[in-house]
């Protein structure tokens, strides 16, 4: 069963990142210690990520509660036993209902084994996840980070991360996904911790808790 990185692991990673990259060292100094919030993994975790995308936190919680009440138990089998129309009555869009079925079929047909996904390395796991219709690269990467506790995954297509990287590096244009991946190479094997730091810093700047001058 996946476990979250410990506080000691995160601290060691922060120290290694600060030593490897002067830019990130300033972000490390600005962002307080954080806990890794491991979410439910497996089929249920991925299905929930799809359900919650592109809706508010409150709406996501309400829809997921209705899905749980409607299915009783959230498994590939119970999902496939309910039609897209039934899922729409729970608050899902037709597209998300179809994607839920796609994920469930991938598991029941043996195209992916959510019960033992941790046996695959990061690249193989991402390839298996993105082979499912409706599961994009960002979803696969964040699933591995938040639902499996993997510590060297970096979602380079995340706009908030790209913007934080732009601020921190003092560059005019936000990096592209390809450029973000390349920039993150120096953070191996702690890229997930680097992402957490950049997200934390981005949020604090947006909330006015940290000034951009703090890492100038």
pLDDT tens per residue, range 156-180: 999 999 999 999 999 999 999 999 9
Per-residue pLDDT tens for 108-154?
999 999 989 999 999 999 999 999 999 999 999 999 999 999 999 99
Across the chain, mean pLDDT equals 93
Block residue for tokens 């790209």: 162
pLDDT at 6 exceeding the cut of 80 = yes
pLDDT of residue 214: 55
* pLDDT tens digits along 90-104: 999 999 999 999 999
Q: How far apart are CA 87 and CA 81, in angstroms?
A: 11
Give the contacts of 69 (CB within 8 A, at least 6 positions apart).
none
Query: Tens of pLDDT along 47-80?
Result: 999 999 988 889 999 999 999 999 999 999 999 9
Burial of 118 (0-12, 13-18, 19+ CB in 10 A): middle
Cα radius of gyration (the chain): 19
Instruction: Please determine, for residue 1, whether its predicted confidence score (pLDDT) is greater than 80.
Output: no
The pLDDT value given to residue 3? 86
């Amino acid at each position: 069963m996946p476990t979250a990185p410990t506080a000691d692991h995160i601290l060691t990673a922060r120290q290694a990142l600060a030593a490897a990259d002067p830019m990130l060292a300033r972000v490390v100094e600005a962002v307080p210690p954080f806990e890794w919030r491991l979410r439910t993994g497996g089929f249920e975790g991925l299905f929930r990520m799809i359900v919650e995308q592109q809706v508010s936190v409150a709406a996501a919680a309400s829809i997921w509660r209705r899905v749980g009440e409607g299915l009783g138990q959230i498994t590939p089998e119970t999902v496939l036993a309910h039609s897209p129309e039934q899922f729409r009555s729970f608050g899902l869009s037709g597209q998300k209902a179809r994607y839920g079925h796609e994920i469930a079929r991938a598991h029941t047909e043996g195209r992916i084994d959510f019960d033992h996904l941790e046996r695959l390395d990061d690249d193989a796991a991402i390839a298996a996840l993105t082979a499912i219709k409706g599961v994009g690269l960002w979803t696969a990467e964040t699933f591995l980070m938040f639902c499996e506790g993997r510590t060297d995954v970096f979602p380079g297509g995340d706009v908030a991360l790209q913007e934080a990287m732009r601020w921190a590096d003092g560059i005019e244009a936000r990096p592209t996904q390809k450029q973000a991946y390349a920039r993150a190479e120096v953070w191996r094997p702690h890229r997930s911790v680097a992402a957490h730091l950049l997200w934390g810093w981005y949020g604090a700047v947006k909330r006015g808790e940290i000034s951009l001058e703090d890492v100038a």
